[in-house]
Structure 1
Amino acid sequence: MAKTITVGLIPAPELPETIAWQLVDSLSGAFNEYIDGDISWEISVVRDPLTGAAENVDKLIKRAGAIKEANQWDYTVCLTDLPIFSKRGVVLGDVNDKAGVAQISVPAFGLPPIIKRVKEAIIQVVGELYFRVNGKPPKSSGVTSRNGLLERRFFLSPIRKMTPPDGIEKSDVRFILKPKLYGRLKLLLGMTHANRPWSIIPSFKRVMAVAFATGAYGLIFPTFWRLSAAYDMNRFWILTLSALIGMITWIIFAHNLWERPSAKSRRRLRMLYNAATLLTITVAVSVYYVMLLLLFLTAVAFIVPPELFSEVVGLEEKEASFMHFIRLGWLVTSIATVAGAIGSSLERETTVRNIMYGYRQQQRYDEMDYYGEKDEE
C-alpha cells in the first residue's frame, strides 16, 4: 500500500486563493512525476488572511505552521501576496524543514501568465521539504538538486538558492531573484496586478457618468468644435497628459491613498507600496480614459453633423474629415476626465480603496492603523 502524504495549500484571499484552486487538482500528479511516484499525494486548500506585518516572514511561517498542525498535514505551502525582501534581493520563497512549512510570494512572479510558474514553485518547495526532511537524494529530473523548474521559468532573472539564509530564524532554504533591480520590477508589476486596476470601470459608475454628462453637454457648443480644429497634435498630447496626471493626483490625495511615514512602516516597503499604488491608479485611469474616448467618439458620430461642423469651424468648402471628429472626441475626453476626477470625490474613501487595492494592501493599512498614525517625519 502506497504511503500517503498530505500537502496543504494556505492561500491569502483574492489572487493567491484563485491560483490555489486552479492548481489543486493537478498538483498530485505533478508531485508523482517530479518528486516521488510511489507516494499517494493528497492536496487540501484552506483560505487564511495570513495575519502579520509584511516585514515579518517568521511570523507568517509560524502562522502557517499552526494551521498545518490543526489540519494534521505533512507539509504546508503558504501562498501569500506579501512582498518579501532580503539584503540580497527579492524573495520568491522560503522553506522551513523542521516545521514542514514553505511560503511563496506570488507578487514576485510579476505579470501574468503566472499559473504555471506558481505551480512549478510549489513543486520545487515541496520537493525541498520532502528530500531534506527524509534525507533522500532528488530524482534524476533535478527538481531540487539546483533550482530546477524555477530556474527554467525565470531565465531572464536567475534565482539564487541560499542554504541557510542569514538572519531568518524560521527559514532553512531561501530563493532570491537576481539581479536586484529586475527582481524589484517584477515584484512591483506583480503587486500592481494583485490590485486589479481594471476593476475601476464597473466600480466607478458615478465617475464615468459625471465625466460623460459633462463632455456630452459640451459637445453641443461650437467652442469645442473650433478648438479641436485649431489645436495642433502637441497640444492634444499635453492636454491628455495633464488630464491623466490631474486625475491620478486627485484620486491619490483626495482619498488618502498615499502612505505617509509611520512608526509601524519601514521606508523601503512604504516606497514599494506607494509605487504600486501609483502604477495601479495609472493603469486604471488610462483604461478609464480609453473607455471614455470610445464613448465620446460614438457620441460625436451621432451628435455632430459634418456639414454643420465644417461651417462652424470655417473649413470653407472642404468637408470635415474623419480625423476632425477624432480630434473633437479626443479634446472632449480630456476635458471630461478632469470633471471625472472631481466626480471621484463623490465616492466614499473605503469604496475607492476597495477598488484600487488588493486584499494584502488593505490589510496592511488596517494592521498599521495607518490613518490614525502620526507622521514620524
Structure 2
Amino acid sequence: MANSEQHRPEIVVGLVATPPDYPAQVVARLAVELAALLAERVDPDVRWIVRAGWGEVAPRRDGGVEALLDDLARRRADAGWDVAICLTDLPLHTERVPLVAQTSVRRRVAMVSLPALGLRQLRALRAAVPGLVGRLLTDTSEERVPPAGRAPAELTGQIAAIHRVVGEADAGELGYVASRLAGRVRLLIGMVRANRPGRALLGLSKLLAGAFATAAFALTTNTIWEMGVALGGLRLTVIMLLGLTALVTWLIIAHDLWEKPDRDTPAELARLFNLGTILTLTLAAAASYVVLFAGTTLAAALLIDTSVLEQDLQRPVDLTDYLTLAWIISSLATVGGTIGSGLEDEDTVRAAAYGYHPEPGGWRDEKDT
C-alpha cells in the first residue's frame, strides 16, 4: 500500500485569497476539503496536495482579470505549484456582463470572483474549483503534469451563476460569465455578502447608544405623543426613510467611504464599490432601526401608563398607539443618533466600504492541507 502511494503522481494546487480579508476565510474553509473533492471529481489516482496562501492586500484594479491572472502566474511559478486558483472579492466584468471565473491554460492559473456567485458561495466553489483545476490539467501540454483522468463536467450546468462560456477554447483562455440581468443582481447580493453587513451593524454601537438616549428623552414629551397620533402612515414612512437616508449619507461623508474614479480605479468599478457600500450600510442601518424600534416599543409600554396616554390623547388607546409612538420616536432618534455615528472608530466604520481592506495581522505561512 505504501509503495503504491509513492508511485501515485503528485499535483500541487495553490489556492490563493486576494485580498486576505473575506476571501481568506473562504479559502481556509475550502482548502480543508479540496483534496478530497479533486480526488472525487477530477482523478482519484492522483495524490492531490493543496497549498493555501494569501495574495495581495490591494490587488490591482486597473488591469482587471488579466492583471490578476498575471500576478497569480508569478506566484504559482515562484512557489512551484502545478496549477493555482485565486479567489477574489473583486467584481469583474467582461463584455459588459459579470465575470464569474476565468481560466488560462498558458499560465496554468484560474480565478473565481466570489461576489458573482451570489449568496451560497462555498457550495458553488465546491463545484467550480475542481472543474477549473480539471480543465487546466486536461488542456495543458506539459508532460510533467498528468492530465485529468476524465474531462471535467461543464460548469454551466453545475453552477447557477454561470450562464455561458466566452473566449478562445483552443488557446485555453476561457471566461465563464453570468447573465446580464440576473447576473448583475446576484453580483450585488454577493458583494453585500462579502462585505458582511453584520460587521457594520456591530460597529455602530455608539450610534445605537445615542439613538436610545434620544428616544428615552422623546418618550417623556407629550408633544411627541400627539404628533405621532396626528401623522398618518405615509408621513411616518417618509420620516423614517429620510432618517435612514440621512444616517447612511452622514456615515459615507463623515468617514470618507465614497470611492472616486482615478487612474487605478475605473469608473465602472468605483460605481460598483459605492453601490456595495451603500447597500451594506443601508442593511446595517435598517437592522439598527429595527433594534431601536423594538427597544422603544418596550420602553414605551413600561414607562407610559395607558391611563396617562388616554388622558393626553382624550380617547381609548391600544397597542397600535404604542407602536405608532415608537415609530415616530425611532425615526427622530435615528437622526439624533446620526451625530453619535461620527464618534465611531474610524477603522470600524471604514470596514463597511467595499473597496477598503485592512492590513492583515501577519503574513500566514503557506501550509499543506
Q: What TM-score do you get using the length of structure 2 for normalisation?
A: 0.87
Q: Which runs of 5+ in 2 are unaligned?
A: 1-6, 359-369
Relative contact order, CA 8 A, sep 6+: which one is greater? 2
> 1: CA distance between counterparts of 2:33 and 2:348?
37
Aligned partner letter, 2:251: I
- 1:10 paired residue among 8, 12, 16: 16
1:95 to 103, 106, 113: 103
Matched, 1:340 2:342: no
Equivalent position SS for 1:265: coil
Deviation at 1:333, TM superposition (A): 0.4
Counterpart residue number, 2:353:
357
Deviation at 1:309, TM superposition (A): 0.9
Given candidates 17, 21, 30, the residue that maps to 2:28 is 21
SS in 2 for 1:143: coil
The alpha-carbon deviation at position 335 of structure 1 amounts to: 0.4
TM-superposed CA distance for 1:184, in Å, is: 2.1
Q: 3-state SS of the aligned residue for 1:54?
A: coil
Structure-2 residue corresponding to 1:367: none
Partner of 1:65 in structure 2? 73
- For 2:99, what is the secondary structure of its paired residue? strand
Relative to structure 2, which stretch is displaced further, 101-110 or 90-99? 90-99
Between 1:50-59 and 1:100-109, the stretch displaced more is 50-59
Letter in 2 for 1:143: P
What is aligned with 1:222? 222
Note the 1:294-313 alignment, pairs <5 A: 294-313=294-313
Q: Report the 3-state secondary structure (helix = DSSP H, G, I; strand = E; otherwise coil) of the residue aligned with 1:46.
A: strand
Q: Matched residues in 2 for 1:264 and 1:20: separation?
A: 26
Q: Distance in 1 between matches of 2:247 and 2:57?
A: 34
Are the counterparts in 2 of residues 31 and 37 from structure 1 also a CA contact under 8 Å?
yes
Deviates more, 1:345-354 or 1:101-110: 345-354
**Pairing of 1:173-184 with structure 2 (within 5 A):** 173-178=174-179, 180-184=180-184
Residues 176-325 of structure 1 mapped to structure 2, 5 A cutoff:
176-178=177-179, 180-315=180-315, 318=316, 320-325=317-322
Q: After superposition, what is the alpha-carbon deviation per residue over 1:126-178, rounded to whole angstroms, capped at 9, x for unaligned?
A: 011110115888766x634xx23x433217x623243259xxxx972221112
Residue 29 (structure 1) shift: 1.9
Moved more, 117-126 or 95-104: 95-104
Superposition TM-score, scaled by structure 1 size: 0.85
Name segments (4+ residues, structure 1) moved above 3 Å.
134-140, 348-351
In structure 1, the partner of 2:134 is: 127
CA–CA distance in structure 2, aligned partners of residues 86 and 216 of structure 1: 52
Closer/same/farther in 2, CA of residues 153 and 53 from structure 1, 3 Å limit? same
Q: Is the 8 A contact 1:34 1:139 kept in 2?
A: no
2:188 and 2:62 map into 1 onto residues whose CA distance is 16
- Does the Cα contact within 8 Å between 1:50 and 1:60 map onto a contact in 2? no
Deviation, 1:64, is 1.6
Which stretch shows the higher mean deviation, 276-285 or 330-339? 276-285
Task: Give the Cα–Cα distance (whole angstroms) in 2 for the partners of residues 54 and 261 of structure 1.
Answer: 11
Q: Aligned partner of 1:60: which letter?
A: L
Taking every aligned residue pair, what percent have the same amino acid on both sides? 28
CA 303–200 in structure 1, closer or farther in 2 if over 3 Å, else same:
farther
